[in-house]
């Protein structure tokens, strides 16, 4: 089916100014902050001063994708209605202005202010455009935050690192000094520093790695809250954002509770003790003990930690582990267990190494598909008759990797199409001459950024027939190319062209293409996994992979549906590129599931779309109010919004609650949101929900909902919001697993990213006095669900049709009761801008 008309696509280098913001555009949130136009990510520098809440944010003043990063600025008197101001701290020729914080220098420790007129001082990460070094710098304002001056002595803290960012600074009263929490991102550590004047900093201590470590640590925040387990005392909370590696995948925020003595943060968490079970392989006696090897990757025996040339292997138990780094990342091979009978409900094991999942249908080897090569890109040009537009005019096939790029692998020959010119900034098209389709399949190698055709700013390769794109492929945010096969039997005899499109200047804003082949059969994708597989009756029944980390972590497979069957385990390394190895240890069958660090971590939010959350300094009444970036780096550059991209979460007040003697962070929307409530409200009580869907009187595209359920005999129950046009977002409770969930698989437009609607976000939730109580905020492109008095939160973006506004209730597998439902229409927070 044709999905777009080629003629409607503007030239990739066209500079069409965005339309003026109306604040009523499709998907424009009505009570969440968004910039008038252009790209936004992390909230920065949040501070309260002279009756105004200042929200600074990562911003591209000149485009709707990441780049030219500066500090945007908005102010509000009530945390609900925001006025956007001019860019506060712009990028310049030398630096981009990355995330940070702001303080009111009441004691004029910097000398930037005057008695009675303190300066607002921003502490930000300066990204050096020439070197990539990240250091900490200052800018100050003496006119209530309206204009800022960059400090002439910048940087004020530089350790020569490319992964040292996002300082959160606060006044530490016991020492009468400033404190800074700043991320050593690639080390999964938070460093603490002290200063008397914000200009000279002394290192105090580091915290981490701890908790979830599957991605880079970013945007820390450290603050005290009243301790509910010790009335009259304080407990400190350390928020650490990470990407990827969050509980719902991609970006997310975890937190630690503990103590801070002005120098060191000590977390409350205790060492994890995994469940015991029947051992299938622990690799501790110096042999593989009945497991067999193929290939050379695993060597002749388990490794005692690091293989030669490797460093940092950790998290294994005992004296050895299976490690396929023997000879580096180049060798491949398989380690296979003896057969065993599945007689317990769980298989637990430790896994680490590369993140290269098993792909069903993939094949080992690199044989070319049969057929006729249409383009191999081995010449000095793309080929006779190929044309280019935009920044790609005058370019030619690349010899693999371009300057500044990660290693490009798995292309054939000496060259490949690679649009990573001028880093990711180059945009344009590369189009083949016309050809007649005479074979059943077109096979081609594709890599690079994952920005599909049909989404904003694609990086894709398309088959164009009669002016329409009839087949398309994009990368997987990987520099490794892999086979894609298009079935073109329906277009036999027609004329077509291959069009390579790069309309993206943000992260992964490039595409790789090679070896276009006309063939009688589809190409099988290459097997490039580093995986652990459970094989049952010659079929792969379960798989797992590493997280691009040398630290092993627990995984558990639920085998309840496989009891009594014969199985074996395969530890497989089919990858020769970066992170092309797998680590595994401690396989056992057990009655109890092991929990990974992700499952054991304390999550600020269990949804996909709350990242870089930090709190206001100096908020009235010492309230701790947090705002997060309502997006996820998995698809941030592709969400279908214009002329702006990204929103912030609703501001949330943080408290600690006592749960079985442990302090747990709770969130509630700020009370100022009541300013937008409009009556009459809709109320329903004591509605019995049969299995299926129950119509309700309630509706709304911008709505606040309070609901209380009794489970009854139902397996699942809850509410569907933004219902209509075949769309709905389901907010429910699963009685079998004891989990709250948000299902956005039918929520609306998800064409911009293949992973957006493929998963349901889940969070553990205990019944409260036998009931489930939900507080839900629904906006034009988001849902935020608060449960268990805010101790469990799920935040997700959705992109429904504007007319999909109904609200229904549902139950499956039995009946439930909707004890009470109250819905309030929320007016728009936008006034004349």
Residues taking part in catalysis: 42
> Distances in Å between the alpha carbon of 757 and those of 16, 41, 751, 796?
31, 21, 9, 11
Tell whether the torsion through CA atoms of 294, 300, 301 and 306 is positive or negative. negative
Query: Which among 625, 629, 640, 624 has a CA at the least distance from the CA of 605?
Result: 629
Contacts of 324 (CB under 8 A, 6+ apart): 297, 298, 331, 332, 333, 335, 353, 530, 571, 573, 581, 582, 583
Longest dimension (CA), the chain: 82
CA atoms within 13 A on the CB side of 320: 19
Burial class (CB in 10 A: 0-12, 13-18, 19+), 697: exposed
Distance between CA 345 and CA 177 in Å, rounded?
55
Per the CB < 8 A criterion, the answer to whether 235 and 225 are in contact is yes
Pairing of strands 644-645, 38-49: parallel
Distance between CA 189 and CA 208 in Å, rounded?
5
Tell me which residue has tokens 């009580």.
685
Tell me which residue has tokens 């969050």.
246
Query: Which among 439, 386, 453, 391 has a CA at the least distance from the CA of 419?
Result: 391
Backbone angles phi, psi at 829, to 5 degrees: -80, -10
Q: For the stretch 329-348, what's the b/e string if a residue is b when 16 or more beta carbons lie within 10 angstroms of its beta carbon? A: bebbbbbbbeebebebbbbb
Per the CB < 8 A criterion, the answer to whether 467 and 4 are in contact is no
Strand partners, 678: 825
Q: Which H or E run includes 190?
A: strand 189-195
Helix, coil or strand: residue 597: helix
Per the CB < 8 A criterion, the answer to whether 702 and 30 are in contact is yes
Distance between CA 257 and CA 223 in Å, rounded?
10
Per the CB < 8 A criterion, the answer to whether 449 and 456 are in contact is no
A 10 A CB-CB count for 111 gives: 12
Asked whether the bond before 209 is cis by omega within 30 degrees of 0, the reply is yes
């Amino acid at each position: 089916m044709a999905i777009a008309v080629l003629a409607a696509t503007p030239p990739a280098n066209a500079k069409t100014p965005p339309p003026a913001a109306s604040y009523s555009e499709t998907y424009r949130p009505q009570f969440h902050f968004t910039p008038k136009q252009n790209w936004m990510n992390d909230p920065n520098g949040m501070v309260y001063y002279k009756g105004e809440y200042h929200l600074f944010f990562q911003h591209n003043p000149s485009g709707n994708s990441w780049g030219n990063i500066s500090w945007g600025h908005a102010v509000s008197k009530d945390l609900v209605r925001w006025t956007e101001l001019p860019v506060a701290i712009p990028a310049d020729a030398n630096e981009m202005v990355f995330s940070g914080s702001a303080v009111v220098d009441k004691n004029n420790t910097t000398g930037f202010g005057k008695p009675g007129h303190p300066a607002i001082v921003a502490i930000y990460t300066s990204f050096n455009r020439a070197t990539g070094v990240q250091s900490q710098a200052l800018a100050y304002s003496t006119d209530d935050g309206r204009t800022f001056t960059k400090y002439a002595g910048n940087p004020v803290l530089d350790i020569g690192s490319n992964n040292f960012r996002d300082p959160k600074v606060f006044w530490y009263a016991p020492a009468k000094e400033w404190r800074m929490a700043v991320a050593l991102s690639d080390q999964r550590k938070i460093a603490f520093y002290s200063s008397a004047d914000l200009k000279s900093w002394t290192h105090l201590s580091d915290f981490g790695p701890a908790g979830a470590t599957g991605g880079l640590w970013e945007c820390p925040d450290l603050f005290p809250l009243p301790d509910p387990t010790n009335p009259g005392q304080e407990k400190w909370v350390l928020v650490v954002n990470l990407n990827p590696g969050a509980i719902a995948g991609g970006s997310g925020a975890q937190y630690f509770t503990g103590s801070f003595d002005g120098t060191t943060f000590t977390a409350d968490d205790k060492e994890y003790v995994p469940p015991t079970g029947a051992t299938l392989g622990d690799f501790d006696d110096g042999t593989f003990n009945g497991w067999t090897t193929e290939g050379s990757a695993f060597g002749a025996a388990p490794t005692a930690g690091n293989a030669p040339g490797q460093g940092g292997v950790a998290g294994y138990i005992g004296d050895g582990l299976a490690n396929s780094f023997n000879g580096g990342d180049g060798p491949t091979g398989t380690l296979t267990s003896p057969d065993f009978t599945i007689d317990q409900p769980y298989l637990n094991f430790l896994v680490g190494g590369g993140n290269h999942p098993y792909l069903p249908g993939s094949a080992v080897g690199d044989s070319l598909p049969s057929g006729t090569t249409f383009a191999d890109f081995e010449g000095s040009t793309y080929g006779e008759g190929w044309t280019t537009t935009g920044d790609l005019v005058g370019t030619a096939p690349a010899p693999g990797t371009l300057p500044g790029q990660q290693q490009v692998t798995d292309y054939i020959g000496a060259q490949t199409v690679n649009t990573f010119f001028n880093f990711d900034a180059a945009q344009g098209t590369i189009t083949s001459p016309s050809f007649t389709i005479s074979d059943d399949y077109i096979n081609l190698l594709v890599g690079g950024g994952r920005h599909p055709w049909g989404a904003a700013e694609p990086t894709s390769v398309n088959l164009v027939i009669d002016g329409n794109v009839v087949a398309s492929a994009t990368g997987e945010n990987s520099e490794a190319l892999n086979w894609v096969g298009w079935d073109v039997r329906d277009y036999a005899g027609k004329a077509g062209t291959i069009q390579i499109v790069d309309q993206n200047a943000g992260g992964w804003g490039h595409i790789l293409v090679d070896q276009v082949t006309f063939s009688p059969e589809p190409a099988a994708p290459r097997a490039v996994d580093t995986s652990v597989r459970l094989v049952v009756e010659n079929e792969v029944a379960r798989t797992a992979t590493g997280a691009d980390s040398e630290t092993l972590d627990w995984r558990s497979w639920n085998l309840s549906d496989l009891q009594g069957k014969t199985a074996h385990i395969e530890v497989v390394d089919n990858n020769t590129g970066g992170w092309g190895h797998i680590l595994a240890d401690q396989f056992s069958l057990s009655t109890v599931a092991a929990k990974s660090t992700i499952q054991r971590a304390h999550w600020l939010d269990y949804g996909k779309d709350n990242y870089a959350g930090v709190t206001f300094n100096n908020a009235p009444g010492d309230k701790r109010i947090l705002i997060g970036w309502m997006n996820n780096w998995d698809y941030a550059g592709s969400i279908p919004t214009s002329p702006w991209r990204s929103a912030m979460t609703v501001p949330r007040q943080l408290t600690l609650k006592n749960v079985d003697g442990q302090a747990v962070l709770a969130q509630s929307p700020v009370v100022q949101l009541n300013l937008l409530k409009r009556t009459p409200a809709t109320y329903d009580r004591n509605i019995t929900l049969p299995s299926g869907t129950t119509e309700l009187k309630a509706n709304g595209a911008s709505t606040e909902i309070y609901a209380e359920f009794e489970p009854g005999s139902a397996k699942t129950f809850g509410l569907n919001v933004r219902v209509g046009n075949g769309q709905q977002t389901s907010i429910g409770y699963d009685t079998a697993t004891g989990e709250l969930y948000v299902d956005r698989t039918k929520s609306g437009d998800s064409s911009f990213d293949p992973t957006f609607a493929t998963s349901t976000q889940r969070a553990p939730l205990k019944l409260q006095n036998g009931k489930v109580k939900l507080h839900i905020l629904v906006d034009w492109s988001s849902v935020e669900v608060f449960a268990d008095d805010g101790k469990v939160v799920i935040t997700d973006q959705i992109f429904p049709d504007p007319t999909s506004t109904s609200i229904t209730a549902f139950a499956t597998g039995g009946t439930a009761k909707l004890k009470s439902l109250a819905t309030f229409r929320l007016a728009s927070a936008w006034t004349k801008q």
